[in-house]
Amino acid sequence: MTDGLLPILYLIASVTFILGIKLLGSPKTARVGNLTAAAGMVLAIVGTIFLYRHNGQPLHNVTWILAALALGTAIGWVMAMRVKMTAMPQMVSFFNGMGGACAALISILEYKTAMAEGLATSTGHSLATMAGLIIGAVSFSGSIIAYLKLEDRLGDIRFGGQQLVNNGLLVATVVVGGALVVGSLSGISTLYLLTVMALIFGILFVLPIGGADMPVVISLLNSFTGVAAACGGFLYDNMVMLIGGILVGSAGTILTVVMCNSMNRSLLNVLIGNFGGASGSSSGGSSGGSYREVSAADAAVMMTYAKQVVIVPGYGLAVAQAQHVCHQLEHELEGKGVTVKYAIHPVAGRMPGHMNVLLAEADVAYDKLVEMEEVNAEFPTTDVVLVVGANDVVNPAAKTDPTSPIYGMPILDAELARQVIIMKRSMKAGYAGIDNELFYRPNAAMLFGDAKASLTALVNEVKQV
């Protein structure tokens, strides 16, 4: 009976994965989608532990497996509950790295078991083993480097001939892995050498990539982990693991392509380019010309008597944990008859969908979040645009300066509005390390200060108008 029940549970779990990804496509259903996929994963895990049979024998060491699950669940729960929205990209990258590490460990254990028992493995089995090891190791070390970059514990590191070194190491890693597949090389020491090579490549792969490209990198590494997990499913002949890995890998790949298109750049350009790197100019406002400041009182008057206000959220909003105050400002303005919308750029923040998650936490209505393609048509008739901690995604240099590293990247056309109020701590450049032309436009004004404090002041001023 159990032999027939487990495939049914796997089928149900696979359907929940597909349904969950489908529901994640809309902010209105994303929470339900996440819970649906999680429920399917729980079902697959429980079914595997208690119903799986290998040569008629159940799993061994169930007590240790359950203990490890309990420990991992407790750690994950605490981390998820304590994480701040500003650190959400770091946590996503860290968890993704753990997935890659698991996939790599599966391949190592499978190879060691085959050698210890003298088992003959097919070419397909060996290929899945080495692919899972290499991709999983690259995903793990690369994700940890991405985590350190997002935590500002590690900068962009570049050296002469870096791409040559990276490409050479990649070729050498693939060659050694291929030799292990065909049998011209063998042994545990060679396997460990391959693991070290893949780990080093993962580090060198992410080291030079600039901070502004982190959303693309996180998405790409996520797809790597999915492919590595799919290899594990092939090794264990586990369909739910295979399907889950394929879904994650394909979804991550599609998202990576979408974000590259949103920046009008190829993936190769992201991986070898300097966008967001240390080489960009960080001179702030020294070269841009003169700018004007505006007080919270004057900004409140402009917004209160506007017909439509568009808020452009950025990473600065997350840093200040000001999403709730921003929602309060929206509520006050709407109480005075002002139409308020949020303009969402695909790569705003530090991970895909960062601004959507941030505003959802503050209970901002989903229909007020307008994507770039749609909202750009509204800027010419918008009275006031309030830019909160965003920088590169509203920089007109992307359209006007062919020498700019962000040239060609589609941006939010905030400069076309009648008035633009930019909230920043200082005139310091954004994550791409370049000056912002918008700051010096005649219709733009700077409101300096912490985003939360400035938004609070705006709320108080709007109430008094």
Catalytic (active-site) positions: 392
How far is residue 458's CA from residue 297's CA, in Å, rounded to a whole number? 7
**Residue 338 CB neighbours (<10 A):** 19
Q: Of all helices (H) and strands (E), which one includes residue 351? A: none
CA distances from 77 to 67, 69, 70, 82 (A): 15, 12, 10, 9
What DSSP character marks residue 25?
T
HEC states along 259-288?
HHHHCCCCHHHHHHCCCCCCCCCCCHHHCC
Phi, psi of 266 (to 5 degrees): -80, 160
The candidate with the shortest Cα–Cα distance to 445, out of 454, 432, 433, is 454
DSSP 126-189: HHHHHHHHHHHHHHHHHHHHHHHHHTTSS-----TTHHHHHHHHHHHHHHHHHHHHHTSS-SHH
Q: Is 61 exposed, middle or buried (0-12, 13-18, 19+ CB in 10 A)?
A: exposed
How far is residue 71's CA from residue 26's CA, in Å, rounded to a whole number? 32
The candidate with the shortest Cα–Cα distance to 66, out of 49, 48, 91, is 49
Region class of 264: left (phi > 0), else alpha (psi between -120 and 50), else beta? left
Burial per residue of 111-125, b for 16 or more beta-carbon CB atoms within 10 angstroms, e otherwise: beeeeeeeeebeeeb
